[in-house]
A and B are shown apart, each in its own frame.
Chain A
Amino acid sequence: MRNSMKMTILSLIAAGCCILYLFHDLNGSFDYALPRRAIKVIAMVITGFTIAYATVVFQTITHNRILTPSIMGLDALYLLLQTVIIFFLGSAHLIVVNKQVNFLLSVAVMIMFALLLYRFLFKKGGQSIYFLLLVGIIVGTFFSSISTFFQVLIDPNEFQIVQDRMFASFNNVNSDLVWIAIIIVGLVIIYAWRFVKYLDVLSLGREMAINLGVPYDTIVKQMLVIVAIFISISTALVGPITFFGLIVANLSYQFFKTYKHKVLISGAVVMSVIALVGGQWVVERVFTFSTTLSVIINFIGGVYFIYLLLKERKTA
Chain B
Amino acid sequence: MIEVRTLSKFYGKKSVVEDVTVTIQPGKITSFIGPNGAGKSTLLSMVSRLLDADSGEVLIDKSDVRKLKSQDFAKRVSILKQSNYMNVRLTIRELVSFGRFPYSKGHLTEEDERIVEQSLEYMHLTEMQDSFLDELSGGQRQRAFIAMVIAQDTDYILLDEPLNNLDMKHSVQIMKILRRLVDELGKTVVIVLHDINFASVYSDRIVAMKDGRVVRDGPTEEIIQSEALSEIYDMDIPIREMDNCRICVYFNS
The complex places the Cα of A259 from the Cα of B94 at a distance, in Å, of 9
The complex places the Cα of A214 from the Cα of B80 at a distance, in Å, of 15
Q: Which residue of B lies closest to A204 (CB)?
A: B86
Tell me, yes or no, whether B31 is within 8 Å of chain A by CB.
no
**Which B residues are CB-close (under 8 A) to A206?**
50
Identify which of B100-108, B180-188, B202-210, B228-236 touches chain A.
B100-108
Across the interface, do A259 and B70 meet the contact criterion of CB distance under 8 Å? no
**Which A residues are CB-close (under 8 A) to B50?**
206-207, 210-211
How many whole Å from A187's CB to the nearest CB in chain B?
Answer: 23
The complex places the Cα of A207 from the Cα of B84 at a distance, in Å, of 9
Residue tally, chain A, CB below 8 Å to B: 22
Per-residue CB contact flags for chain A residues 189-203 toward chain B (1 = under 8 Å, else 0) read 000000001001101
Per-residue CB contact flags for chain A residues 54-66 toward chain B (1 = under 8 Å, else 0) read 0000000001010
Which residues of chain B from 40 to 96 have any CB-CB distance to chain A below 8 Å in the complex? 48-50, 52, 69-75, 78-81, 84-90, 94
Across the interface, do A213 and B71 meet the contact criterion of CB distance under 8 Å? yes
Q: Which residue of B lies closest to A199 (CB)?
A: B106
Which residues of chain A from 44 to 86 have any CB-CB distance to chain B below 8 Å in the complex? 63, 65
Q: Which residue of A lies closest to B149 (CB)?
A: A211
How many whole Å from A101's CB to the nearest CB in chain B?
Answer: 42
Per-residue CB contact flags for chain A residues 168-188 toward chain B (1 = under 8 Å, else 0) read 000000000000000000000
Tell me, yes or no, whether A93 is within 8 Å of chain B by CB.
no
**Which B residues are CB-close (under 8 A) to A125?**
52
Interface size class on chain B is 20 to 34
Chain A interface secondary structure, helix, strand, loop or mixed?
Answer: loop
**Which A residues are CB-close (under 8 A) to B86?**
203-205, 208
Across the interface, do A213 and B75 meet the contact criterion of CB distance under 8 Å? yes
Cross-chain contact of B106 among A65, A200, A204, A257 (Cβ < 8 A): A200
Tell me, yes or no, whether B30 is within 8 Å of chain A by CB.
no
Cross-chain contact of A208 among B52, B70, B73, B84 (Cβ < 8 A): B84
Tell me, yes or no, whether B98 is within 8 Å of chain A by CB.
yes
Instruction: Say whether, besides A126-B52, A197-B105, A207 and B79 are in contact (CB < 8 Å).
Output: yes
How many whole Å from B132's CB to the nearest CB in chain A?
Answer: 11
The complex places the Cα of A276 from the Cα of B132 at a distance, in Å, of 35
Report which B residues bind A (CB closer than 8 A): 48-50, 52, 69-75, 78-81, 84-90, 94, 98-99, 101-102, 105-106, 152
